[in-house]
Amino acid sequence: MKNLAYLQGGVAAVSRFVVGLAFFVLIAVVTLQIVTRTFGLPSPVWTEELSRYLLLYLTAFGIGLSLMTGELVNVDLVQEIVPPRAAWWMRLVAALCTAGLGLVMIWPAWKFTRIGAFQQSPSLRWPMDIIHASVLVLSVLLFLFALLRVIGMIAGTDDGRPHLAEEE
């Protein structure tokens, strides 16, 4: 089960790095937009488009982290009033459903990504499959993080509760 913790920690570390990198680039792009518009300079057209694409990838790589920290969607009010064992089962069923959702989304996301190979983004002229792949990344990471939570809960290394940043 130590390998499970290493896998989960590794995937979380890569996700954090990519989210941080995308956020840094987003800050730089938006700053460029603000500076050029403030001083009456022509703002590059591609900045608007790149901002949207960066937000897509921020969401895609942040989805699993949000699941692990309980910031995705978490209805813990009910879990607080039921016995601890029932709350554990509720968290397990929720993690199973989330993993199922991620798994079901992978094939349509792959098809959506393949469609993008025939298109280009308007101003950056990037193949749209690079952009559409954000939905595939989101689906795979949602499935992976939820599956790791399910395995951890069954193995007894994870109680299914949100992991706070200080604990990691």
Rounded to 10°, the helix 2-38/46-69 angle is 150
Greatest Cα pair distance, the chain, in angstroms, is 62
pTM: 0.90
In this prediction, residue 59 carries a pLDDT of: 96
Q: Is the pLDDT of residue 88 over 50?
A: yes
Domain spans, the chain:
2-167
Alpha helix (H) residue ranges in the chain? 2-38, 46-69, 77-81, 84-115, 128-155
Read off the pLDDT of each residue in 129-139 and give the average, rounded to a whole number: 97
Q: Of residues 1 and 160, which shows the higher confidence score?
A: 160
Q: CA 101, CA 58: separation in Å to the nearest integer? A: 20
